[in-house]
Each structure stands twice: as C-alpha cells, then as structure tokens.
Amino acid sequence: MGSHSADANVSMLQLHALFFIDQHPGVTMKEVAELLSVTSPSATSFIDRLVKLGWVERLQDERNRKLVRLRMTERGRSVVQEKMAEKRKSMRQLLEALSHVEQIQLRDILYHLAKNLERP
C-alpha cells in the first residue's frame, strides 16, 4: 500500500490533532478543539475525516456516555510515525546546511527561548 497518507490530503490542523491524540490516548473532542484553538464543531468536522480514513476511532466514555473519547488506530499510528520520520529528515537537512558553530549557536538560542517560555 505504500504511504498511508499519499492519497489523503491531510491538513496541518489534522496532523496536529493526530500527534496530540497519539500522545494523549482517550483525549476528548473538547480537549482537541481547545489545543488547536478551534470550535468544537470545527474539530468534529476534521476528526470525522480522520475517523473515515481509519486513523482515529471514537469511544464512548464508560462513566459518562455523553462523553466521546478519541484513540489512535494502528493505521493512524503508522501515519504519525511516517510523518515524524519525514519531519526528522527535513530538520536534519536544514541543520546540515549550518556549520558546527552555527548549530551550537542555534542550540543555545533555542535553549534560551525555551527557558523564557517557561517563565510565568
């Protein structure tokens, strides 16, 4: 079958949702919507597509039957792994264009940015 996503025109928003669902099994639709800063109906719409592709499944919460939880399927996990490999390859190519000194400078800058983001 080759690439799971080659024939599926998946948006960046859907990819972000996939990554989030993969990292947080059982996440709710509301949590996905909040993370991606979209309305619940909008999240429902693009999650529907991921369900139709067989990458995500909806599960009813055992305690609250009104609550729908999302879980990655094996097929969806395969897509996430494929996309992460593509991302790593792109990052590697970008970094290879920098000298060793530039790579160290970039690392230091990113470290300081991350530290500043942690501040209240």
Q: Is the pLDDT of residue 6 over 50?
A: no
27-28 and 68-72 as β-strands: parallel, antiparallel, unpaired? antiparallel
Instruction: Note the pLDDT tens digit of each residue in 20-53.
Output: 999 999 999 999 999 999 998 999 998 999 999 9
Residue 72 lies in a domain: yes
> By residue range, what is the domain housing residue 44?
12-90
| Number of domains the chain is built from | 1
- What CATH number should be reported for the domain holding residue 86? 1.10.10.10
Residue 6 lies in a domain: no
Average pLDDT over residues 101-117: 93
Q: Is the pLDDT of residue 58 over 70?
A: yes
Residue 108 lies in a domain: no
Residue 67 lies in a domain: yes
Residue 96 lies in a domain: no
Residue 112 lies in a domain: no
Residue 35 lies in a domain: yes
Q: Note every long-range contact of 101-109, with CB atoms under 8 Å and residues 24 or more positions apart, other chains counting.
A: none
Q: Please tell me the pTM assigned to this model.
A: 0.70
